[in-house]
Amino acid sequence: MIALTACGGGGGSAQTAPPVRTTPSQSPLESPPQAKASPVARVLSKMSTEEKVGQLLMPVLYGTAADTVSGENQARYAAQTPAKVVAKYHLGGVILFPQNVKSVAQVVGLTNGLQQSAKGVPLLIGTDQENGLVSRMSALMTDFPGAAEIGATKNLGLSRAVAKATGDELRSLGVNLDFAPVADVNVNPRNPVIGRRAFGNDPKKVAKMVAAAVEGFGDAKIASTAKHFPGHGDTSVDSHTGLPVIKHTKAEWERIDAPPFRAAIGAGVDAVMSAHIVFPKLDPSGDPATLSKPILTGLLREKLGFKGVISTDALNMAGVRKKYNDGEIAVRAVLAGADLLLMPNDLPKAYEAVLAAVKSGRISKERLDQSVTRLLTLKQNRGLLTEAPVASAKTAAGVLRSGEHRKLAARVAR
């Protein structure tokens, strides 16, 4: 089997309409007119529990077309094609990797086909296009310098411009969510997983660059994700293969790690991705941040006031799989405060475990609805709630690696 990992998606629950007073022209025996439910609330009200659980899941699928028959899909998901996996698990999203990318026309066909297979709510189609070291769509897209190079320019306009250009190219291919920008502050020279993926080692400068990038993705009308909360910059262990421990005090977290995430939230970031790191001074339990309610709910939701989607980092990474099985990991991530379960190591087990936890009451129906509401709100904000956009290979060919974008990349490099 092919092993893939990601390290790489505002919302809030619907409000109840206030009671309507009767007027002289309205009989007290008549039902008062009700305020119209929001579009998100209307969609939510029509979903089954199974469909709601499916909205939380974003796996990687195998093949270059929605109808590609793949032994990998059959082995992992008991469904032969990407389209059948989407339908079987009522998926809310899919993440693309280089193995899904061959040509412009092919990717456009894939994303359009995946959207057609989603009955009801359109898909979030995501990828890790940070530029530089992590660029899943590099075979087709402009070769922009990575975050460290952009940060070295000290030019916020370039950070915003590169993010917009990246977002424009992704959107032309049918991708609507980028797991970028990296909001970590790279203060450890031995860091094996962040390094030049970060904008730099100065929290204030990184914060400004991150905010500019979030604004740029917004300019392109594509969802962005600040990662990896609460901060993956000071570690010498790679969370893909181990479980890093960050020894910062709360005061050091406030000074070093928090500013870029605060800036991203202030700039309107759509999602924040958790880190598979242990942060004892923020949560002494020994659980990674992805499974930590004090960190995801206490810090990110309550202290920083983030109302959007919380995404886990890839749940097939070693850093999150040290203590619990694949089903329990998914349940604990939801209980901690996560909304989007990225790349469960065992999708069927994750789906069944979360579904069983909802039916037993371990995950309350209200808690499930909170996450689904946030995901649906993100989709509404990006024009994906009721009708999926249709990508065009002809349009994409005019956007990808355009002269304007190549000049921008050269400007950053200079």
Q: How far is Cα of residue 295 from the mean position of the Cα atoms in its chain?
A: 17
Instruction: Measure the CA–CA gap between 152 and 158, rounded to whole angstroms.
Output: 11
The DSSP bridge partners found for residue 92 are: none
Convert 9-43 to b/e letters by CB count within 10 Å (16 or more is b): bebebbeeeeeeeeeeeeeeeeeeeeeeebebbeb
Both tokens assigned to 19: 């009671």
Of 178, 283, 313, 339, the active-site residue reads: 313
248 is catalytic: no
Q: How far is Cα of residue 369 from the mean position of the Cα atoms in its chain?
A: 18
Cα 38 to Cα 11, 12, 221, 231, 384: the distances in Å are 12, 12, 21, 35, 15
287 is catalytic: no
| Residue 187 CB contacts under 8 Å (≥ 6 apart), including other chains | 201, 233, 234, 256
Helix (H) or strand (E) segment spanning residue 379: helix 365-381
Of 228, 240, 248, 276, the active-site residue reads: 240
Query: Helix or strand or coil: residue 321?
Result: coil
Residues in the chain: 414
Residue in the structure block whose two tokens are 């993440």: 95
336, 296 contact by CB (below 8 A): yes
Q: Which residues are catalytic?
A: 240, 313
